[in-house]
A and B are shown apart, each in its own frame.
Chain A
């Protein structure tokens, strides 16, 4: 597994699930690198034809293997969106050696009926506005040559592969969240239109001791919309 890595301090693995072309070093990574040895795995989700990994659990096992093979001890895991689901799954099943967990707009829990739009049934333009507070304002350096539209298309495809039905969630995840015994922050964009911030309560209520932080002026990809505030919330949460 290819990784992007920079910074010094205790290890931090940042999980997001994007197409390999869209994987890049973000402002949030820079901010975290001031305090952590930041490792960003480029998960081998590959082209859409690639059969494996076919499940969030596959990705969680892959991430766990990566942490072990890099001998990262006392690692903080940050997971955003689909990556938040992967991080939560990892932490519920094999949480040894974790020092902290931050879930940013994590998928994985069922949205309340009628509370979330069907991301697979909206137009490409509308899909972008479900991910970013203002798609037109997404900073270009984050895109690394990939247009916002193309990134969103890739994200939607990966979500479809891993979360078409049940819709963006694992019906059994909620019943396993109590097993997470590491300091956990649940961070959400106040203007998340993909999964409204009320979802944060689902995680924070079920993970012992977890705290939730709602970030104003941020959409679903809270770390891209508001990197400074998100970074501060991750650091405070440890």
Chain B
């Protein structure tokens, strides 16, 4: 098992009247609620936590991209990855991911990620995402072109990294007569590519065919099994057996001395994470054309209730949307889901919602000392599932 420390860099200072006054933490939440002075303190704290994770022995530290949202305050993950590249020494720096169809020109992503790969001495993992539906509202990009732009942007970036330049690229959305990026990435032929997804069938098939690590976010564990099975099936159709290292599970984890303490300590922050930061009307999540009709049915079934109405502690425990408890209990849950799902990459959100610095650090410490050693051997052999 590989362990990755993931940070969303959430905004923890939503006002008391947030739920009465605003319908979403995305797109339309007024940015007057963002206080740049507190933002400075938060960035310092959050970057410290990522750097600590490197020092503590996580295999990787992860940042991601979201726009106009209190959910995550990293519109540019590459800025954060750049900051981490010089301050960390060992961990992979995972950008999960760049929302490549949202860029007017994806070559800029190829350049920035190559820069970070060179600065960090070849430690970058490059995730690519389409960006969630809300971000198509943010940028005015046409959601019905999103998938085609994603694939074309990916093709251009991978070619720019791996093929000798200059060469020309003629696509439907991107055309460039001279592709010839300086610098090139250190890792050959290019940095590892991961694909975080909400479970669209097209994305699963596409990732499996290319042997990219598939990472499932924010989905009830029972549904994740369906998606992983589909990935394994698609891999077989492509002529190979996928390994557990190709299947990443991204989930908030909270460890305390007892199950009762874990629930008691984590719940207010989990509540904030699910019931405040994830509040978003359906039409913002999935603008018309963002999903194909078939994927719309699948994803909406997988996420049923995810954005509708408050989630209770029982909900999130039942669906394994959060793993929490004593060290022994967290290990049991991770082992159970390993047997069920066959994941080999655990992308743990050890900070979530309003979880303060002290609890985050204690959570990290318990996780590294009490959970990591016991779970580490799992997935060393081909997946059980």
Contact = CB atoms under 8 A, between A and B. Distances in A.
B283 A48 contact: no
Nearest to A120: B287
A165 B287 contact: no
Contacts of B284: 121
Contacts of B282: 123-124
Interface in B328-373: none
Interface stretch (A95-103, A155-163, A178-186, A212-220): A155-163
Nearest to B136: A164
Contacts of A160: 142-144, 287-289
Interface in B143-170: 143-144
B55 to A, nearest CB: 44
Q: What interface size band does chain B fall in?
A: 10 to 19
Chain A contact patch, size range:
10 to 19
Output the residue of A118, A164, A165 with the most chain B CB within 10 A.
A164
Interface in A119-138: 120-124
A161 B289 contact: yes
B140 interface: yes
B26 to A, nearest CB: 11
A49 B282 CA distance: 20
A48 B140 contact: no
Nearest to B293: A48
Contacts of A164: 140, 142-144, 289
For A47, A118, A161, the residue with the greatest tally of chain B CB atoms inside 10 Å of its CB is: A161
Interface string B104-148: 000000000000000000000000000000000100111110000
Given A48-B289, A49-B292, A49-B293, A161 B144 contact: yes
B227 to A, nearest CB: 21
Given A48-B292, A49-B293, A122 B141 contact: no
Given A48-B144, A121-B287, 12 more contacts: A47-B293, A48-B288, A48-B289, A48-B293, A121-B27, A153-B288, A157-B289, A160-B142, A160-B144, A164-B140, A164-B144, A164-B289
21 contacts: A48-B292, A48-B293, A120-B137, A120-B283, A120-B288, A121-B283, A123-B283, A124-B282, A124-B283, A156-B288, A157-B288, A160-B142, A160-B143, A160-B288, A160-B289, A161-B144, A161-B288, A161-B289, A164-B140, A164-B144, A164-B289
